[in-house]
Amino acid sequence: MPGKSTTLFYTVDCAHPFITMLGMIAPSPDWIVQINNRNMVRDGKFITRDSGTMIAYDAGTDDGREFTSPVDASLDMPTEPQKNIAPLVEDETDRFQGRIVGRFLIQKIK
């Protein structure tokens, strides 16, 4: 929700130092935000804090271009064939155009 924050807890260790997360932009056809393979180790040590921004991605499973599905369910068409996940930078609605839609903060707690 705009202006709201969500807190999640992850466990990372030497064998699994990367964080990958995605979240749905709701309501939407198949739009998501993601943190992809964020390495929590720098110079051989776990970092205590990391932050960044997120843009909107199209998951490639639904051709919808509006936040909600059409009233007529027959117009809500899945993408065939499905596409690769890609940034919504060529969104024909000019809604996202690669703009920041979220921010994240990762902090070490132990």
Distance CA 12, CA 18 (A): 7
How big is the chain by its Cα radius of gyration, in Å?
17
Residue-wise pLDDT for 47-93, tens only, equals: 999 999 999 998 888 877 777 766 556 666 777 788 888 888 765 65
Share of the chain above pLDDT 90, in %: 37
Whole-model pTM: value is: 0.74
Annotated domain spans of the chain? 18-107
8 Å CB contact between 31 and 88: yes
Tokens representing residue 24 in the block: 């749905």
Distance CA 61, CA 36 (A): 19
